[in-house]
Amino acid sequence: MRRWMGFPDPVDEVSARLVAGGVAAASLAYLATGSAWVLAALAYGFAARVLSGPRLSPLGRLVTRVVRPRVPVAPRYVPGPPKRFAQAMGVAMSAAALALHLAGAGSAALGVVAVLGCCALLESALGLCLGCVVFGLLMRAGIVPEETCARCAAWGTSDRP
């Protein structure tokens, strides 16, 4: 039986960066259109990826099934927990932006989405996952237990050897 729930560990960083590129594009689409539907799709996508990795996420499935197989770059596997934490930060930010938008605070929603889009662009273009950096800081502070990601603790940071 195929496992439909649960986040993958390890994660192919190339796929994660491609998904981040899609998030950056969707963020730009919201900034250009102000459409609540774009925010709803972003929030759903992040929630789906937190629950199941790419399995329930339309963007995740597009990347893993269509785009990634056509990218001639060897996989680079990184620990899953920091990437899941980053996706959870995306849930919080996109859901907050959607709530702000629906409450009539469009300027605040634009600000949150601008930050989200910048984070996604950093991951996509430079491989800098700010959520992973925060995860690593929380591990070093003892807030995230070492058992959560033993490989992360061994590397000293969340997703960099």
Q: Is the predicted pLDDT of residue 159 greater than 80, yes or no?
A: no
In angstroms, the Cα distances linking 39 to 78, 134, 145 are 28, 24, 32
Domain range enclosing 50: 11-127
pLDDT confidence tier of residue 161, bands split at 50, 70 and 90: very low
Domain contains 42 = yes
The answer to whether 43 and 101 are in contact (CB under 8 A) is: no
Whether 24 is covered by a domain: the verdict is yes
Neighbouring C-beta atoms of residue 72, cutoff 10 Å: 5
CA distances from 94 to 27, 40, 69 (A): 9, 8, 28
Residue 110's nearest CA partner among 94, 122, 124 is: 94
Range of lowest pLDDT (22-26, 34-38, 120-124, 145-149):
145-149
Q: Give residue 145's pLDDT band: very low, low, confident or very high (50, 70, 90).
A: confident
Residue 149 within a domain:
no
Digit-coded pLDDT (tens) for 14-40 = 999 999 999 999 999 999 999 999 999
Can you give the pLDDT at residue 3?
53
Number of domains composing the chain: 1
Q: Flag whether 3 is in a domain.
A: no
